[in-house]
Amino acid sequence: MYELNNHTKIVVYQSLQDYLQNNKISCSCERCKADIMAFALNRLPPRYYVSSRGEIMTQWESHALPDQARVMAEVVRAAQHVIASPSHSLDD
């Protein structure tokens, strides 16, 4: 059985971790992080793969394109959006 993976999800997760390490936001709970990821992923094209070869090709292609800046820009936009209007009370 093959497992379908989305390389964009991995890159967004890594970018979010980098962003949170370098920036203080009002809430970095698991819900807000998931909301940020969902918001960013909905604005970026998916890059699916099902094999090791596909994973290597997808990684190579994503490094060959100017995607890193776009991914970080979407993570920042998503974080600003989620923190401005969180899914929960910030008092929780």
- What whole-number distance in Å separates Cα of residue 87 and Cα of residue 31? 8
Total domains in the fold of the chain: 1
| pLDDT for position 65 | 56
Domain residues for the domain of 56 are 5-84
What digits encode the pLDDT tens for the residues 27-59?
Answer: 989 999 999 999 999 999 998 888 888 777 777
What is the residue-wise DSSP string for 31-57? HHHHHHHHHHHHTS---EE-SHHHHHH
CB 71 within 8 A of CB 12: yes
**Per-residue pLDDT at 90:** 61
**27 within some domain:** yes
The pTM of the whole model exceeds 0.85: no
What percent of the chain lies above the pLDDT cut of 70? 91
Q: Is 92 within the bounds of a domain? A: no
If one compares 2 and 81, the residue with the highest pLDDT of the two is 81
Sign, Cα dihedral of 40, 46, 52, 58: negative
